[in-house]
Structures are given as C-alpha cells and as structure tokens.
C-alpha cells in the first residue's frame, strides 16, 4: 500500500498542519547569518521565483527597507514537461504563472519528505478551462508535473516559509517562469506558440524587477493585471473577475513609468538580437523536463534535458563539486529521445523568422504537449541501439527503471550512411561526456560477451528514509547520513499557530 502511494506521483500530497519534527527544523545558522548581513529579519515576508530553463528556485526576503532582496538560489533537482504553462490534468507540465501560498498549503506529511502546494489552478487558469490539482514543490528529486528539490533543500525552503507565516505574512507569492525573462531568452524563444502568455507574465516579472516589491495580481478578460489601483475619482476599489470585462483601474504612475522604461530597453535589445540572427531554440525534442547541471553531473549518463547545460563548464568538471543535498537512488534524469533526435532537422536548417505575437493579445495561445508513446517498438534498429547504449525516453516518476536488456546477437543488416550519421550526431549532441575517440573501436568486430545484469537502483520507500535531513546551508549533506538527533520542536509550530486554518 505504501509503495502504491509513493508511485502515484505528486497527487498524493494531502493538506495537513499536524505537528511534525521535519516541518519544525530551525533555519540553518548560515542562512541566519546571511539574513543579518542583508538586513533581514528572520520572520520577514518571503517571495519565491522558479525558472525551468535555468532549473533554479530563488527565495527573496524583505529587508528592513521594505524592499525584497535575494536571499538564496537553489538548483532544482528535477522538473517535468516542457517549457510552457500547464493546460490539463495528466500533461506532466509544471505550472507557470503567479500563485499564492498560504499556511494551509504547507504539507509536513508529504510522501516526498516536505512540500507545499503551488495553488494551481488560479483564477486565470480556471477561466481558460485548464485542469489539474495538487501540483507541488517538494523533495525526493522526482517529478510528475511538480518542481522537485532534494530533501535537504525543501526542508530549508519550508522553514523559511514557516517563519514568514509566524511573522504575520498571510501568504507568500510564487512566480513560476519558463526562463529568466531577458531579451536574449525572449529572442531565442520568439517562435514558441506560448510567447503571448510569456509576454503577459513578463509584465509581472518587470513590475517586480523595477520595484522589488511583491506585485499585486488580479485577473480580468482572461488575462493577468499587475498593481491595479482605483482611479482618482473612484469611490471604491475595482472588482476583478477573471472571466469578466476589466473594471476601470489605473497603475500608479511611478510604477508604470519605471516599467515602460525597462520594457523599452528590453525591446531595443530584443530587436538587435533578432536582426543579427539569434538562433531560435529547438522545440519539442522529445525530452521530458530538466535538471540543474549540478545534479546532472552526479549521475551516470546524466543530462540537463530542457534546462541549460553548464556554460563554459563541462558536467565532468562539475562532478567534483558538492551536491546540495542527497540524490536518491531512484532518480530518473531527462534523457534524449534518439528516434526524435535522429529524424529532427539539423540546427542550421531551422528558420530564423521572427513571428512575435502582439503584446496586447488577451487570449493565450498555448500548444498542448505532444503525446509521447510509453512503449517503443522492440524491433527498430535505432530503438535497439539506443537501449544498448543506455539511452531512450525517460519516465520521470518515482518508479524504479526496469533493468536494461542485454543483446546477445549483433544486427546483421547494414545501417544506411545517412541514418548512421544522424544517430551518431544525435548521440554526440545529447550525451554529456561522449568520447568520440572510442567510436572506431566500438565499430570493430569483437567477441560477444554476455553482460552482467545492471545493478538495481535503491527501491527503498520514502518511509524508510531518515526522518530529518542535514541542512544544505551548513554543508552537512556530503555523507547523506543523519546529522545528530532530531531538532527540538519550537513552540511556534504550525499546530499551535495555524491549527484553526483548514
């Protein structure tokens, strides 16, 4: 029964505010020191930003000046789906947009160590008929539409959210983006059908960038509205309905002016990038989600997937760095789809046309992810070769991957030159650390030796893991062992503070 709960994905998390030792771990001393250095109070409000392409989660915290400053950036261990918003239940998409997290969404009894519910779908999502539920930020480095951290990371993030509630913050804002909304990223993805939606949420991104204040979020006419206020002659605040016509409202002039100036600068830089032929990012590669490079470097045949690789640094070089938390044995990193890669056009064949959608569009053009077959043909040459090399499509659930089948007879057919070169290029492009010098040796005739069965990954359930994890800020995650006994539960617990919240 426990195994069944673990394997069903993110939807198993249930809202609970029971007293829990994991959920009451203190904020690590290194983070407390960073707060002091940045003029922050332990219980001041927080704000969280997520970026899929960079595979990063940022925690911002309010300083004594009243503005937010970046406290810490956490690499994301795993996210699933593609760049773009979640559209329907079961599409494996991690949500994008603006969400509000209140104490009732914090889950100390998650099947994935600790978690909090993103709040998807919000009013905007519902107005568009989007479906899905229980989309979380949680531990265990396993994702089916969620943002997955290591257990040590989520314990730290959870403690920051908890303390902000103790300080009086009623809810903290979660901003989820496909990538950092810079001119270069907008230029790279200018032909993506999600661009109208991304331009809309970039408005909120820009509001936060210029004010360093949590933007007020409203919805009307099936679109986002940021920092709306009542007109000078109005007697009451405007009332918003995501599906109804927008009421009369204004944006404070100081904010509107700063946003206009930022957007004008961004658009000028964007135009230069398009004019000089900035390549368009490849879409629909058949890869499910992404993983931060620091985690990909720790896993055999690891890949960052749809996240960015190490810029100027190879995964082999990053393998020497310390991982921010324990990577579970059942982790399933994104892997290239050889069939899709072999049939895809070369990068230089891609059109470089700029087809940006009007910024004033109020309807979101969102492309549903293509359905990927879960079962591959057993007789195809590319599929068999991919399996021999340990590559193929990935299922990013918490399930344990089946052992790789070993081949005892080599194919007798001759690979067409074009197909062989495509496959070789796909492997070289997607597999980190691929050694080209070994290709000739692999092609030479050699005796066939029965391979030993692959070692089974650790299939222990979450319930068998230690109840508490060492703090990533205190550098105690090297061994993966418990760092002493469970911390003393503070008197300011969820049970005592928010027991009445349901």
Active-site residues, by number, are: 138, 146
Separation of alpha carbons 267 and 296, rounded Å: 34
Separation of alpha carbons 351 and 270, rounded Å: 17
Strand, helix or coil for residue 57 = strand
- Cis status of the peptide bond prior to 121, with omega within 30 of 0: yes
Is the Cβ–Cβ distance between 412 and 357 less than 8 Å?
no
The residues near 362 (Cβ < 8 Å, ≥ 6 apart) are 221, 222, 223
Residue 320 per-residue DSSP state: T
The token pair that represents 167 in the structure block: 């300080």
Separation of alpha carbons 5 and 50, rounded Å: 27
Separation of alpha carbons 494 and 502, rounded Å: 12
Is the Cβ–Cβ distance between 153 and 249 less than 8 Å?
no
User: Closest by alpha carbon to 158, among 101, 91, 238?
Assistant: 101
The residues near 23 (Cβ < 8 Å, ≥ 6 apart) are 106, 108, 114, 158, 162, 493, 494
Task: Count CA atoms closer than 13 A to 448's CA, side-chain side.
Answer: 6
User: What single string gives the DSSP state of each residue in 110-129?
Assistant: -TTSSEEE---S-HHHHHTT
Separation of alpha carbons 98 and 84, rounded Å: 13
Is the Cβ–Cβ distance between 203 and 181 less than 8 Å?
no
The token pair that represents 265 in the structure block: 């600068």
Separation of alpha carbons 383 and 425, rounded Å: 15
Strand, helix or coil for residue 431 = coil
Task: Count CA atoms closer than 13 A to 327's CA, side-chain side.
Answer: 21
Helix (H) or strand (E) holding 454: none
Strand, helix or coil for residue 165 = helix
Distance separating the N- and C-terminal Cα atoms of the chain: 27
Query: Using N-to-C axis directions, what is the helix angle for 417-430 and 381-388, rounded to 10°?
Result: 40
Helix (H) or strand (E) holding 48: strand 46-51
Residue 467 per-residue DSSP state: S
Is the Cβ–Cβ distance between 324 and 469 less than 8 Å?
no
Is the Cβ–Cβ distance between 463 and 5 less than 8 Å?
no
């Amino acid at each position: 029964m426990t195994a069944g709960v673990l394997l069903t994905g993110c939807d198993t998390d249930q809202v609970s505010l029971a007293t829990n030792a994991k959920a009451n771990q203190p904020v690590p001393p290194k983070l407390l020191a960073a707060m002091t250095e940045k003029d922050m109070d332990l219980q001041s409000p927080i704000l969280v930003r997520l970026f899929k392409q960079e595979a990063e989660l940022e925690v911002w915290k309010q300083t004594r000046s009243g503005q937010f400053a970046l406290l810490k950036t956490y690499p994301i261990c795993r996210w699933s789906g593609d760049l773009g918003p979640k559209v329907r239940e079961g599409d494996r998409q991690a949500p994008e947009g603006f969400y509000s997290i209140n104490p009732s969404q914090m889950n100390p009894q998650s099947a994935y160590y600790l978690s909090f519910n993103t709040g998807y779908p919000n009013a905007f999502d519902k107005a568009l008929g989007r479906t899905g539920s229980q989309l979380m930020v949680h531990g265990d480095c396993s994702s089916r539409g969620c943002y997955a951290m290591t257990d040590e990371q989520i314990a730290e993030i959870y403690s920051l959210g908890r303390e902000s509630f103790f300080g009086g913050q009623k809810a903290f804002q979660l901003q989820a983006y496909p990538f950092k909304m810079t001119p270069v990223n907008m230029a790279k993805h200018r032909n993506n059908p999600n661009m109208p939606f991304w331009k809309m949420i970039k408005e909120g991104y820009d509001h936060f960038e210029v004010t360093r204040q949590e933007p007020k979020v409203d919805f009307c006419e099936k679109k986002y509205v940021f920092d709306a206020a009542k007109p000078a002659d109005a007697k009451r605040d405007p009332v918003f309905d995501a599906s109804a016509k927008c009421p009369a409202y204004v944006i404070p002039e100081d904010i509107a002016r700063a946003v206009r100036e930022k957007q004008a600068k961004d658009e000028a830089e964007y135009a230069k990038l398009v004019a000089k032929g900035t390549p368009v990012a490849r879409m629909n590669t058949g890869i499910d989600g992404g993983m931060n490079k620091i985690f990909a470097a720790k896993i055999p045949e690891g890949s960052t997937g749809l996240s960015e690789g190490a810029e100027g640094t190879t995964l082999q070089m990053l393998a020497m760095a310390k991982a921010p938390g324990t990577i579970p044995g059942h982790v399933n990193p994104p892997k290239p789809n050889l069939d899709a890669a072999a049939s895809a056009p070369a990068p230089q064949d891609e059109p470089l046309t700029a087809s940006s959608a009007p910024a004033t569009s109020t309807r979101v053009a969102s492309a549903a992810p293509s359905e990927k077959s879960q079962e591959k043909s057993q007789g195809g040459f590319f599929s068999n070769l991919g399996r021999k090399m340990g590559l193929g499509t990935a299922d990013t659930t918490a399930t344990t991957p089946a052992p790789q089948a070993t081949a005892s007879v080599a194919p007798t057919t001759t690979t067409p030159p074009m197909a062989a070169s495509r496959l070789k290029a796909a492997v070289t492009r997607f597999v980190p650390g691929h050694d080209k010098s070994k290709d000739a040796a692999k092609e030479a005739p050699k005796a066939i030796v029965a391979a030993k069965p692959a070692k089974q990954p650790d299939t222990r359930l979450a319930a068998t893991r230690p109840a508490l994890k060492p703090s990533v800020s205190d550098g105690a995650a090297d061994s993966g062992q418990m760092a002493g006994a469970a911390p003393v539960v503070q008197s300011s617990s969820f049970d005592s503070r928010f027991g009445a919240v349901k």
